[in-house]
Amino acid sequence: MQDHRYDYLVSTAWLADHIDAPDVVVVDGSWHLPTTERRAATEYREAHIPGAVFLDIDEVADHTSDLPHMLPAPAAFASAVRRLGIGDGQTIVVYDSVGFYSAPRVWWMFRAMGAPRVFVLDGGLPRWLAEGRPVEDGIVRRPARHFTARLDHAMVATKDDVLAALKSGEAVVVDARSSGRFAGTAPEPRKGIRSGHMPGAYNLPYTNLIGPDGSLRSVDALYTAFADAGVDLDKPVITTCGSGVSAAVLNLALRSLGHTSIAIYDGAWAEWGRDPNLPVAGNGEGNS
């Protein structure tokens, strides 16, 4: 099986060699669940990779929606990243402070908006620090750049798309949440959200795709993980999770296997789980 991981990833060594290149921009895309009580913006100000700007997915979002960090309209996205100094023709490298968690979400946002050269730093900030590489504090401000945003609608799924896929079986729905949350035996971190999963969805916790060193696993290991979860890779895939963050880890992993027909259900369980008109399975039943 062909290895496409480094079509979407860069190593810490590569970034160290290219960090001063005028066409490279580094983005701290860290985000944490509210239950962790970690503040990504504060941590960024305390220590970040030199030259990195901070993209807050709760700010660069659709503020007309009451769902968390929904993808904004192209014009709003372009305006936000322009102010960060990110523009057309640049190579964008995204990392996060966990290692491999929210950076793929920011990577997907740029990809969905048409950026052709955007990558995730494999191992993220933890690997960068473990290798003794430098960090700086404060806030980086770059000159504004023009960014052309054109939304690729095929990369974004709605609840109607998910319902249609579950009914027809023409696409596979894969949930990146933990097995406990999927089964309904572990509570949801957001209030007012039912426990369980979409009937007919498959479960592949995103953590199963990340090695002990914080890297995306080998293509053989990724393929085995999807196969063990029951996912038919000959079909289009819709990935989902709690709020559209860890679903992007599955998206990146699938693209690393050469799978290109993939969308993220942006509303995710935050939308599905609170809607009494949408079906829910679980409460310990496992996959339905």
Specify the CATH number for the domain of residue 69: 3.40.250.10
Each residue's pLDDT tens digit, 231-262? 999 999 999 999 999 999 999 999 999 999 99
Domains of the chain: total: 2
Tell me which residue of 61, 112, 110, 60 sits closest to 90, measured CA to CA.
110
pLDDT at 118: 98
Mark whether 77 and 170 lie in a shared domain: no
pLDDT at 283: 66
**Which residues of the chain are under the pLDDT cut of 50?**
284-288
d(CA 226, CA 204): 7
Mark whether 176 and 227 lie in a shared domain: yes
CA atoms within 13 A on the CB side of 12: 20
Q: Domain for residue 281, yes or no?
A: no
Mark whether 19 and 92 lie in a shared domain: yes
- CA dihedral defined by 274, 277, 279, 284, rounded to 10 degrees? 40
Q: Where are the beta strands (DSSP E) in the chain?
A: 9-10, 24-28, 53-54, 91-95, 118-121, 156-157, 172-175, 202-203, 237-240, 262-265
Enclosing domain of residue 31: 5-151
241 is catalytic: yes
**Catalytic-labelled residue, pool 53, 93, 171, 241:** 241
Q: Domain for residue 283, yes or no?
A: no
Mark whether 141 and 24 lie in a shared domain: yes
Mark whether 113 and 129 lie in a shared domain: yes
Mark whether 57 and 106 lie in a shared domain: yes
Mark whether 129 and 221 lie in a shared domain: no
d(CA 73, CA 66): 15
Strand 24-28's sheet: what is its strand order?
9-10, 118-121, 91-95, 24-28, 53-54
Mark whether 126 and 159 lie in a shared domain: no
d(CA 97, CA 48): 9
Mark whether 202 and 248 lie in a shared domain: yes
What is the reported pTM? 0.96
Mark whether 227 and 261 lie in a shared domain: yes
Mark whether 195 and 245 lie in a shared domain: yes
pLDDT at 71: 98
143 beta partners:
none
Mark whether 186 and 95 lie in a shared domain: no
pLDDT at 285: 39
Cβ contacts of residue 42 below 8 Å, gap of 6+?
Answer: none
